[in-house]
Amino acid sequence: MPLPVISVAQMREWEGRAWAAGVCQETVMKLAGEAVARRAFDLEDHSGSTMLFLIGKGKNGDDARIAAELLTAEGVEGVQLMKLVDGTESLPDFSGVSLIVDGVFGIGLNRELSPDWCDFIERLNESTKGLRVPVLSIDVPSGLDADTGQPRGAAVRADYTLTVGAPKTGLISDHASEFVGLLEVAAEVGLSEVPPLGELRWVDANDFKRFVPKRHANAHKGTFGHVGIIAGSTGYHGAAVLAARGAACSGVGLVSVFTPAYAPVAAQLQSAMVHPWDANVIHTLSACTAVVIGPGLLGPDVPESLRRVVINLWRESKNPIVVDASALEWVSSEPVPENAVRVVTPHPGEAARMLETTAGQIQADRVQSLRRFSAQYSGAVTVLKGRHTLIGAFEGPVIINGSGNPHLAQGGSGDVLSGYLGGWLARKDLEGELVNTIALAVWRHGAAADHLSAFGFERDVDSLLSTLEGNFDC
């Protein structure tokens, strides 16, 4: 079940209900400490260097202390604690430190930091940046307002933030990204019933366990659908290839590519069927159970007939359609059949161009930007890419994806996603699970990148595809 994105007040209410119901605070602290210890152990390079825990006076400090004690009890060497009182303390030599765990201030900070604390945090940021020492913050980067995502004078610039219970509203804001780093959630800490879901809903690996049905023994390729991909042109044929390979990773039964750049696309694909663009493609397209449109459709050699077919498909087809890249311009404000599935996948720059604004304005309020974009595309489900990709429409819940990292910020990863998403939507065994299917595809795409980063593998698009093709542990 997705987690709600909550305010500090909601978190305090949640804790209050748990204590009133007899939940032991010490048990929750121990479970939180265990989660921090596991994450710190995973992030530390185990080279014999030091893992430094910064211990504040509040509950975050207790979580950090418990984590350090657990690691020491497990025989992990090099665990050091630094207790902090007022921010006047001198920083140690970080040259032998491989990880800093920030447990100074938590979500209860409701005032501006003193000059001494601001100076301490700035010195810490400067030292970790210069020596490239990663920082793991507990619950919230120290000094950051968990409701607004703004520093209270200064804030730790974390590489990773492990927040407790559920994501806090300020941590997902775009302007908080430089402090939060990669946001993860320690949800299983023994608290009572989770607060009710609101507009924003966080999904991670636990939400997709056993979601994909088992394949029956008598299943065949027709059981799992047929995705058609209209993509690629001279100089941009690679986008069609990547989208087709991404689609195949979904487990869809058949992949067909329809492209003006037939020769270079056909030369690079084996399992996909590749068709040159001509008037006869309509018949073949009609056999598809979902269509992806847009990757690499640029330049003067994109025929007008292709644009007309795309618009007609958008207006008339009852099958799911995913539209990406330059094709977004062709179907803007076009009507769609009642109950037809339409998915658009802009990045912030594309969203800004279509909404006649700037990428900065899109990022300043991503949820509202998603709502406006969906409305402009006749209510299409919008996948607004970026840090914590958003999934939603002009009204209703908005899903926040919990996977992915900056290594997805490279040419081709969006083409892989559009094809991968189209492949999942084409699968007949998942009919009736629209939003969950989209969320699954977006999450697994990001989780593949996380898998590569965690194990230090190559992080190019070919490696991303190889990971999606394999049964990576996510």
What was the pLDDT predicted at 471?
62
How many Cβ atoms are within 10 Å of 149's Cβ, its own excluded?
22
- In this structure, are residues 194 and 5 in contact, taking their beta carbons and an 8 Å threshold? no
* Alpha carbon distance 404, 386 (integer Å): 9
Burial class (CB in 10 A: 0-12, 13-18, 19+), 209: exposed
Question: What tokens were used for 356?
Answer: 């006649």
- Region of 183 (left: φ > 0; alpha: ψ -120 to 50; beta: rest) is beta
* Alpha carbon distance 418, 415 (integer Å): 5
Of 258, 245, 332, give the one whose Cα is nearest residue 297. 258
Q: What are phi and psi of 279, to 5 degrees?
A: -70, -15
DSSP conformational letter for 160: E
For the CA atoms of 387, 388, 393, 397, the dihedral, rounded to the nearest 10 degrees, stands at -150
Helix (H) or strand (E) holding 350: helix 348-355
* Alpha carbon distance 272, 203 (integer Å): 31
Q: Which CATH superfamily is domain 3-196 in?
A: YjeF N-terminal domain (3.40.50.10260)
How many Cβ atoms are within 10 Å of 274's Cβ, its own excluded?
23
What was the pLDDT predicted at 394?
96
Classify domain 221-469 at the CATH class level.
alpha beta
For the chain, the structural domain boundaries read 3-196, 221-469
What was the pLDDT predicted at 221?
81
For the chain, 474 residues long, the average pLDDT of each consecutive 10-residue run is: 95 96 95 97 83 95 96 93 96 92 96 97 95 95 98 98 98 96 96 93 90 80 91 96 97 96 96 90 90 94 93 96 96 96 97 97 97 98 96 97 92 96 91 90 94 78 90 56
Of 31, 8, 17, 25, give the one whose Cα is nearest residue 192. 17
